[in-house]
Chain A
């Protein structure tokens, strides 16, 4: 195969896979702007005669998207801030301070990553019931604050900071906290961004814990709320698809703007330490 033919072949293959990955989203959007009759017409009608934006209004009135969005954003922001603080503190200690039982504690934490999440769910749920935290946003934030993976990830970033910086600060008599806060933390911002993005993705995607711990719509995240939407209305697919578009569109916009950061963060999960 000569070079030109080879490139043509690559384009063909990539267009094929793009259609498979992107096609469903396009179909979702097309369905969402059809009338009911158009959405179920056979043979399939690809494009609507008129764009029917009113589907969005209908589903928006039927379904508390604003509350779900608000909850999801509050939960992600609270989780990310709390997690970054807790995780970076201990990642710094594991990377930069010598203390007894360090390796045992670190290995123990790594071992926890092997355990499937379902194992913790019943005890955590009972705990939330005991603390009267069911049907609160706090219940969604609390267990996610302690990310073992985050410690693992940020520790690598702290380790890559040159030791000289720390030593000169130590000579000036800086405390560990000042070294952490003023010198080290600004240097591991890329790691924190990566962890922040991954945590955000997890919060948006997570389904099981939110549907277990919060059963009232006003305290649900988008993901859990959508799962309820499935239970309720599945006849009018043009409306359901409008709902799906409303719930994925903002994330897609964020992704398109910060694509580089998203991709790098996900790629970082694949770096072996």
Chain B
């Protein structure tokens, strides 16, 4: 935003109107965001059960996190999902969007089909993939065996359960992000391509020298959004893995652990500390990404 000329005086009629206009929003934001945020920070320094009043415990909750094996697993899993998930989502969404942006017949049919998971509720996706990944009768294992592999206990083997979650996560997220990538591709002016074709550039050169740099703001946006989204992964883990099974722990993310602590074990102060840690992680990663973008994102 450009710096504007300072207005030393506001019209009082305008000021009154403006505050009346924003007051419902401000009140709501104060209650559900600002106050809630501060209260959550306060809780993280307290022991809070389901019904009793909070008792102050200082930084005990945070200290306990350092030696809590389940927290460390959840942290490791969350990092696993993010480090693998974000590049996969970005890569496939660029790839599919590029193909969907080519001028060929039937493009609208492909688009309709590929965007479908984006508008489907995670609860249904979870149910669906539980069935697809079923050990004995699932179609995924059927295909794997047909191709000469061995069936995988996707949802119960403690080693593979993370990969199953990652698979569904990427599948559903790509569908959504492709829509944004495609809009980004469509926003690139055709004159760039025409100029490049006149110069005799190959498709390959056009993609790397023109498309990618001009798409970089969208790529950056998708990277940020999918990072923040995956760091908060909860739905598919909750829906696809039996919560009483051993595998649940091996797939658990920070948010799953937060949920279990806060609403099944009623350790709300401790859960608050987990959510604060997640907030700090998101903050740091986003800041790093915003600083790093200057090196590769191209705004003109």
Is the pair B28, A226 in contact by a Cβ cutoff of 8 Å?
A: no
Contact B268–A119 (Cβ < 8 Å): no
Give the contacts of B74-126 with A (CB-CB under 8 A). Answer: 96, 99-100, 102, 104, 106, 109-124, 126
Stretch from B62-70, B158-166, B217-225 that touches the partner: B217-225
Tell me whether B35 is interfacial, beta carbon within 8 Å. Answer: yes
Query: What is the CA–CA distance of A125 and B14 in the complex, to the nearest angstrom?
Result: 37
Taking the closest CB of chain A, its distance from the CB of B104, in whole angstroms, is 5
Of A47-55, A144-152, A160-168, A188-196, the one contacting chain B is A144-152
Q: Report if A42 contacts B (CB, 8 A).
A: yes
Tell me how many residues of B have a C-beta within 8 Å of chain A: 96
Contact of A227 among B119, B179, B239 (CB under 8 A): B239
- Knowing A105-B22, A240-B131 touch, does A10 contact B40 (C-beta < 8 A)? no
Contact B136 A40 (CB under 8 A): yes
Q: Which of B189-197, B206-214, B256-264 contacts A (4 or more CB under 8 A)?
A: B256-264
Instruction: Return chain A residues, CB-CB under 8 Å to B279.
Output: 115-116, 119
Residues of A within 8 A of B102 (CB): 7, 10
Chain B residues with CB under 8 A of A237: 131, 134, 137
The B173-200 residues at the A interface (CB cut-off 8 A) are 175-176, 179-180, 182-184
CA–CA, A33 and B33, complex, Å: 46
Contact with B along A221-237 (1 / 0, CB 8 A): 01110110110001001
A94 is an interface residue with CB less than 8 A from chain B: yes
Q: Judge whether A11 is part of the interface by a CB distance below 8 angstroms.
A: yes
Q: Which B residues are in CB contact (< 8 Å) with A234? A: 130
Complex interface: chain B residues within 8 A of A62 (CB): none
Partner of B112, one of A230, A241, A256: A256
Known A-B contacts A90-B24, A114-B282; A252 and B119 likewise in contact (beta carbons under 8 Å): yes
The distance from the CB of B259 to the nearest CB of chain A, in whole angstroms, is 7
Chain A residues with Cβ below 8 Å from B272 are: 122
- Tell me whether chain B's interface is mostly helix, strand or loop, or mixed: helix
B73 at the interface (CB under 8 A from A): no
* Interface: B271 (CB within 8 A): yes
**6 smallest A-B Cβ distances: which pairs?**
A146-B28, A267-B183, A270-B180, A99-B18, A226-B123, A93-B21
Report how far A176 CA is from B115 CA in the complex, Å: 41
Interface residues contributed by chain A, number (CB under 8 Å)? 94
Beta-carbon contacts of A89-114 to B below 8 Å, as 1s and 0s?
Answer: 11011100111101001000100101
Please state if B258 and A118 are interface contacts (CB–CB under 8 Å): yes
Is B17 an interface residue when CB atoms closer than 8 A count as contact? yes
A127 interface residue (CB < 8 Å to B): yes
- Shortest distance in angstroms between A84's beta carbon and chain B's nearest beta carbon? 12
The answer to whether A89 and B234 have CB atoms under 8 Å apart is no
Smallest Cβ-Cβ distance to B240: which chain A residue:
A230
* 21 contacting pairs across A/B (C-beta < 8 A): A17-B110, A21-B114, A25-B128, A97-B17, A98-B14, A99-B15, A102-B18, A115-B37, A119-B276, A120-B33, A121-B275, A122-B48, A207-B235, A227-B239, A244-B128, A247-B123, A256-B112, A259-B115, A262-B115, A263-B183, A272-B217
- Max chain A Cβ within 10 angstroms of own Cβ: one of B7, B10, B21, B137: B21
Q: Which of A43, A241, A269 contacts B180 (CB 8 A)?
A: A269
Q: Are B119 and A251 in contact (CB under 8 A)?
A: yes
**Bound CA span A86–B99, Å:** 40
Taking a contact as CB atoms under 8 Å apart, the answer to whether B221 and A270 are in contact is yes
A90 to B32, CA, bound (A): 17
Within 8 A of B (CB), among A116-153: 116-124, 126-127, 142-143, 145-146, 148, 151
**How many Å lie between the Cα of A14 and that of B97 in the bound state?**
10
Find chain B residues with CB under 8 A from A207 CB: 122-123, 234-235, 238-239
In the complex, the answer to whether B112 meets A93 with C-beta atoms within 8 Å is no
Q: Return the chain A residue nearest B92 by Cβ.
A: A17
Min CB distance B140 to A, Å, is: 9
A151 touches B25 (CB 8 A): yes
Question: Is there contact, CB below 8 Å, between A208 and B259?
Answer: yes
Shortest Cβ distance from A150 into B: residue = B25
Question: Do B137 and A40 have beta carbons less than 8 Å apart?
Answer: yes
Tell me, in angstroms, the Cα distance from A214 to B133 when the chains sit together: 30
Q: In angstroms, how far is the closest chain B Cβ from the Cβ of A170?
A: 11
* In-complex Cβ contact of A116 among B10, B24, B221, B228 (8 A): B228
In contact, B222 and A270 (Cβ under 8 angstroms): yes
Asked if A176 meets B17 with Cβ closer than 8 Å, knowing A25-B116, A109-B29, A127-B31, the reply is: yes
